Amino acid sequence: MMRFTKFLLIAVLALAVLAACDGPLANALLTVDTSRCVGCSECEEVCPYNAIEVIDGDAVINPNLCHQCNRCIEICPEGAIF
Ligand code: SF4
Ligand code: SF4
């Protein structure tokens, strides 16, 4: 019985981690190279989660909103997001 409870606890924890990874928490790893960014706003326009804002000519990604769909990476003409 104790083993089953342990298994259940681990399963619930694993599901919680998976649920978190499916959302905004999966990100925080995207970077904008400001030396390349020309502030064209294409990434801002393509982001379906409004996670990017161009501020003072540089794209800024909000890791709390980003779902890591990679659309901004694909559309950036300068290769400034990675
Ligand atoms: S698409 Fe690229 S160059 Fe344009 S604002 Fe976004 S990061 Fe900067
Ligand atoms: S990866 Fe997707 S959700 Fe995240 S900032 Fe880029 S376009 Fe937006």
CATH label of the domain that carries residue 44 = 3.30.70.20
Mutate to test the pocket of ligand 2, among 67, 74, 82 (most ligand atoms within 8 A of CB): 67
Q: Is residue 27 scored above 50 in pLDDT?
A: no
DSSP 8-class letter at 32: B
Task: Give the range of the structural domain holding residue 33, as residue numbers without chain letter.
Answer: 2-75
Q: Is residue 36 scored above 50 in pLDDT?
A: yes
Tokens of 35: 């030396």
- The confidence score (pLDDT) of residue 6 equals 57
Tokens of 33: 């190279």
Contact 27, 67 (CB under 8 A): yes
Taking the model in full, what pTM does it have? Answer: 0.73
* Gap from CA of 21 to ligand 2 centroid (Å): 14
Higher pLDDT, 2 or 68: 68
Would 58 be classed as within a structural domain? yes
Would 80 be classed as within a structural domain? no
Would 81 be classed as within a structural domain? no
Most confident of 7-11, 26-30, 36-40: 36-40
Would 43 be classed as within a structural domain? yes
Mean pLDDT lowest for which of 6-15, 45-54, 64-73?
6-15
How many domains in the chain?
A: 1
Tokens of 47: 């982001």
Contact 36, 43 (CB under 8 A): no
